[in-house]
Amino acid sequence: MTLELRRRELLKATLAGAAAATTAAATTEQGVEGVSSAALPWKLRRIKTELLEITYAELGPPHGQTVILLHGWPYDIHSFSEVAPLLAAQGRKVIVPYLRGFGGTRFLVGSAMRNGQPAAVATDTIRMMDALGIKKALLAGFDWGARSADIIAALWPERCTGLVSVSGYLIGSQAAGRNPLPPSAELQWWYQFYFATDRGREGYNLYRRQFARLIWSLASPKWDFDDATFERSAAAFDNPDHVDVVIHNYRWRLGLADGERRYDALEARLSGSPPIRVPSISLEGDANGAPHPNPSAYATKFAGPYVHRLVTGGIGHNLPQEAPAEFARAILDLGGSAFASQPI
């Protein structure tokens, strides 16, 4: 058995024992619109912000160190269904919100723009923290969630005690999005160009489950997920705002859709690729089939204590769900006083 395999088995054995007790005693809450009816290892709550009523999962002691876990597209909070109990068992207070356009999260005003631009999505987390009275939290995420966590760590470092980001530094801008890539790289973004068309929007609206299942398979080619696992998350895509938010996100990136003026100042700062100075760990799966940068391309963007970890064993894009022990371990390592800019 290799050193990496021994490390992984030790992690799983150490964390899984504590998680089993937490999950067994967890609260099950059903009947929340836009979420799966399957038993959940957490309690679902709602909180109103300026723009949204956010549905979120909460698990762990109320006064523990707060960890906020942010999912991506096309996924939902169940990407953290194993990670959250692991963290709660270690005394962390875990918050897992449905992003705008997913699950039970709803816009408060029908006329509000279903805006998917990154600054808007990231600001939702700050507003949620304000509404919940959370001054600081450790942020961790993947895909859209990693981008939001990166943005918060860069622009609101006083609110972020640490960062775990799958695929590292994902802050971009419309200007950067307009630059053409080599054909092989453009091919990886095929769905972005599909979404740029009316046909693509209607196709996604009609076939969102089939579309999401395809993305899961392409992004995590070695992840053998079953139908029940997929359907548990697919319920989140029935949100009435889902298609509008997703389509706007990808059109905005290409400069094909405008954002809202309220976010202009934030976008101006993000266009300069601001450094992240909070203690950070970036993770990458060795079988990530989704578009993602090489770690060497973003290492210098982390200006504080920082390490990068490659998670092996056929781990794809949905790293928290495919390798929950490793994802939880990164969060716990960051929260410990021994963290330094050396491999742990």
Its pTM stands at 0.90
Which positions of the chain have pLDDT values less than 50? Answer: 1-7, 10, 14, 18-32, 34-37, 340-344
Q: Report d(CA 37, CA 333) in Å as an integer.
A: 33
Q: Report d(CA 156, CA 149) in Å as an integer.
A: 10
pLDDT of residue 37: 40
pLDDT of residue 41: 75
pLDDT of residue 335: 74
The DSSP string of 193-206 is HHHTSHHHHHHHHH
Structure tokens at 172: 């971009």
pLDDT of residue 181: 92
Predicted confidence (pLDDT) per residue in 73-123, tens digit: 999 999 999 999 999 999 999 999 999 999 999 999 999 999 999 999 999
Q: Residues of 282-301 as b/e, b for ≥16 C-beta within 10 angstroms?
A: bbbbebbbbbbeebeebeeb
- Read off the amino acid at residue 10: L
Distance (Å) of CA 159 to CA 67, 148, 228, 340: 12, 13, 36, 20
Nearest to 46 by CA among 131, 135, 109: 131
pLDDT of residue 226: 97
Residues in the chain: 344
Q: Report d(CA 75, CA 82) in Å as an integer.
A: 15
State the DSSP H helix or E strand holding residue 141, giving kind and residue range, or none if neither: strand 137-141
Q: Report d(CA 22, CA 16) in Å as an integer.
A: 10
Are 189 and 261 within 8 A, CB to CB?
Answer: no
pLDDT of residue 39: 54
Are 137 and 158 within 8 A, CB to CB?
Answer: no
Name 163's Cβ contacts closer than 8 Å, sequence gap at least 6: 138, 139, 140, 149, 150, 153, 276, 278, 279, 280, 281, 334
Distance (Å) of CA 82 to CA 20, 142, 146, 162, 324: 10, 15, 18, 20, 6
Name 24's Cβ contacts closer than 8 Å, sequence gap at least 6: none
Q: Report d(CA 102, CA 244) in Å as an integer.
A: 11
Tell me the β-bridge partners of 106: 53
pLDDT of residue 36: 47
pLDDT of residue 40: 65
pLDDT of residue 179: 87
